[in-house]
Structure 1
């Protein structure tokens, strides 16, 4: 993976109707700005119940977007990352529909994880309560088979996302076939979506247990044999994230978005500096994603302190809602049909009250901390909350999933804020200092001063949080 800024986007929300259109965008308007491109699910269909994360056919690019030849062409312009959705498949898939019709006689029967696969003798209340849940309900859905019998199926996320038994012979082959398709399509890196939930064992949390690491390592070895790198997506307590990072290729720095807000809101970089002392270096850094702004990643767990004190964290969340003029409240928690209750749904620009100076500082911090920076397509244009889309779908995360037109993109690229942002991106992409050593300069809590040094090359970020003034300096 190139040590350059990446873009994460849907194909059809960036003024494009197809992968070929996206290729044109990278050859023209976005040329030189990105070393990598994470394309959010482009499999059939892209407009399911979870914006492509519920694939009916993981090996088929939605024909409305193009085909694998188109993706191969795009991979010649920029390195491609794709999602390998390891935990589940759509209830509308051919495989699950065949299972509904034929039950245990279906050739796909062992592909799906049932309640009794994990709990053959039943589960105790303690067994069920110990299962780690990202959602408020239990991870099971009762389905009725064609013969009139009923079955409890594991559905970690929604009833339309049917969990796969990744340890079964057919489950292993299912994932291997997708890797083979990815290799032929020019994919250079995969994100293992929801990998933390893939292994279920009685008497455990069923989340990032030892067997999960074994599964990830086996899948990673298969991917590497095909020249594909692996990123693991895990939202978890920060010490858990540090441990996970030791055992995988890359992880996300999901703590960074709220730590940056803490730094800017409270004019105090202490918590961010402490994180930078221990944060994983094999990280993809983000401020915004296709999901919400995660809170669990900086919060406490049980009796263990988080990266930010609870009272301060609550005020940060409140400030995001105030800055967005209450619009984020309409998209967060139980206010809309949300899947994740531990995230705030809001664009990062709106979370900062549309303060362009603060937004540029936030991106500068992202570019200067250790890791490979990734920008979400809405964040690239300092996008605002899409209340019209939210009202239309009542899906909380859609507030930050705007469909840009070509005219909107052209106009945004001429904004002074975007011109300054592009200069920062080009510095991050091209300066040799960022391939060297990182350090935090000891300073007062209201000062953030970090520096990269690589032999005679250096780059420095200095922010005075009291005056909200920033200096970026570097060697020639």
Structure 2
């Protein structure tokens, strides 16, 4: 039976006092004890025998209804498909929001505590959790305009009448950083007249007021309830925009960091082994600030990696990728990165700020348009619209707009990007469409009017199974190659998320880094990001070693120290002699 210890109380006191004032602390501690005591938690989830992450760790990102089978809930279909094809290959399944919602494919939540009946039940979620660890989204910045909370706000019903942010007319909000080129405020009719409420993302997604401790406690209860339902990782969606203070940019507010620290304290004391992941699609320095001093997120996305890889392949140079990767500091102890190239969202452009020039970013956006994708914009500080997100499937982003339109060539380019991601320090996360060769869904964009729909198409279960059974199909080609890479990777201690990473100086066409496991031999990860052969001299690269031959664990071939790396070829090299 969990209980609030004196040590835990003293740890929470300064956080609560900072956020809500000293006079509130004792009352809030009592309420936190009540919230945390509602559930029966699993035993500690991470231990020496069952680590939070290792070289086997791999996350699948998917919607609950990514697969459709007539007259069957999506979660049931997903569980069967994952059991048939992915057990032993991925360890965690990130089910994108599976709650009743009104827009944004689940990210406008109507009821946080229910499963959308069209997707299934909590029992279906728990069934999936018998074979895989699970990741849930906590969409805590905003709630649906169709939610009961917002209905109560409009009707002035306690307590939700105080859950949202009203802004009087004439308030200067010019400093607020905007993620999208949409109005910041939305006018709504209430029993007390017309009100303007804060809507960072859309007029259907109403921002919650975390300056009200009732809101914080509601979200803490939901977070712990998700862990009680089997979530091993909680993704804190859009966390950077959480705390609003008029006269500030309202992004990365110090109190936002304090809320993350508070949730971390609660999770580590109440449900040890559950992990927090922050979603902050921002420039790298801001993004990694959510590690704190090892006291905030356990896991932080590598948001700069995805657009840098598209740039490297499209521009045929690893110069910027290398420079960025060399600048990375190791995560604090007990923390790690989440590496990914694609997700349900587009490819963020803000993480390129300070890494590429604006002209290079604009060129990258144009290459995505030429590949059949779209570009979403935001309003910059100068009042002009700037690229914010590239909307395209990652496979289609690998088209060669300057040369060959051969599909096999595109597959080579795609796997070059994926192998780089799989090799880098951290946990890899793979979007369902990247695993199955999903293509741009332009029809979906036409139907929804949303550019993000290009990367959110759904598969027919029977149709996908037929494609995977046909070795000549693109889906089978991608899936079989990808799953084989994951099997190889899982056998190599060098890919433990905590294994050291050193990025080496190589010619601009090559991206090379070394992974060094504790007590093991180094592995050299070599990637040609160009369409031409690139010379490689491993002895010159290594300097301290005179090894003459190397084994490539991807191809199982042996190579001499001096070799030619083929176009888009990737090598996981280990010294032989």
TM-score norm. by structure 2 comes to: 0.74
Cα distance per residue 1:259-283 (max 9 Å; x no partner): 1122222221111111112335421
Residue 258 (1) aligns with residue 258 (2): no
Q: Which range moved further: 220-229 or 346-355?
A: 220-229
Residue 14 (1) aligns with residue 72 (2): no
Aligned structure 1 segments of 4 or more residues deviating by more than 6 angstroms: none
Kept in 2: contact 1:276–1:369 (CA 8 A): no
Kept in 2: contact 1:5–1:428 (CA 8 A): no
Kept in 2: contact 1:57–1:93 (CA 8 A): yes
Tell me which residue corresponds to 1:67.
Answer: 121
Residue 2 (1) aligns with residue 65 (2): no
How big is the shift at 1:420? 1.7
Tell me which residue corresponds to 2:320.
Answer: 271
Cα distance per residue 1:91-117 (max 9 Å; x no partner): 11112112212x2x533211222225x
Tell me which residue corresponds to 1:303.
Answer: none
**How many Å separate the matches in 2 of 1:191 and 1:405?**
27
**How many Å separate the matches in 2 of 1:380 and 1:168?**
42
**How many Å separate the matches in 1 of 2:200 and 2:505?**
45
Kept in 1: contact 2:153–2:162 (CA 8 A): no
CA 333–137 in structure 1, closer or farther in 2 if over 3 Å, else same = closer
Kept in 1: contact 2:166–2:195 (CA 8 A): yes
How big is the shift at 1:5? 1.8
Give the paired residue count: 450
Residue 226 (1) aligns with residue 276 (2): no
Residue 440 (1) aligns with residue 503 (2): yes
**How many Å separate the matches in 2 of 1:257 and 1:419?**
22
- Any unmatched runs of 5+ in structure 2? 1-51, 379-384, 400-406, 534-566
Residue from 329, 346, 353 that aligns with 2:392: 346
Residue 380 (1) aligns with residue 435 (2): yes
CA 277–411 in structure 1, closer or farther in 2 if over 3 Å, else same = farther
Q: Which range moved further: 257-266 or 365-374?
A: 257-266
- Any unmatched runs of 5+ in structure 1? 117-121, 300-305
* Bigger radius of gyration among the two: 2
Cα distance per residue 1:367-414 (max 9 Å; x no partner): 011221111111111211012222221211111111111234224434
Tell me which residue corresponds to 2:146.
Answer: 92
Tell me which residue corresponds to 1:119.
Answer: none
Kept in 1: contact 2:276–2:298 (CA 8 A): yes
Kept in 2: contact 1:381–1:412 (CA 8 A): no
Residue 29 (1) aligns with residue 85 (2): yes
**How many Å separate the matches in 2 of 1:398 and 1:419?**
26
Secondary structure, in 3 states, of the residue corresponding to 1:212?
helix
Cα distance per residue 1:199-243 (max 9 Å; x no partner): 011221111011111111112222332242101111212222233
Tell me which residue corresponds to 1:459.
Answer: 523
Tell me which residue corresponds to 1:283.
Answer: 337
Kept in 2: contact 1:135–1:341 (CA 8 A): no
Kept in 2: contact 1:291–1:397 (CA 8 A): yes
How big is the shift at 1:57? 0.4
**How many Å separate the matches in 1 of 2:299 and 2:159?**
35
Residue 206 (1) aligns with residue 258 (2): no
CA 179–242 in structure 1, closer or farther in 2 if over 3 Å, else same = closer
Cα distance per residue 1:36-89 (max 9 Å; x no partner): 1111000113xx221111111001011222222222222121111110011111
CA 445–395 in structure 1, closer or farther in 2 if over 3 Å, else same = same
After superposition, residues 71-220 of structure 1 pair within 5 angstroms as: 71-101=125-155, 103=156, 105-115=157-167, 124-125=171-172, 128-147=173-192, 149-220=193-264
How big is the shift at 1:19? 2.1
**How many Å separate the matches in 1 of 2:225 and 2:500?**
38
**How many Å separate the matches in 1 of 2:325 and 2:439?**
29
How big is the shift at 1:333? 4.6
Of structures 1 and 2, the one scoring higher in RCO (CA 8 A, sep 6+) is 1
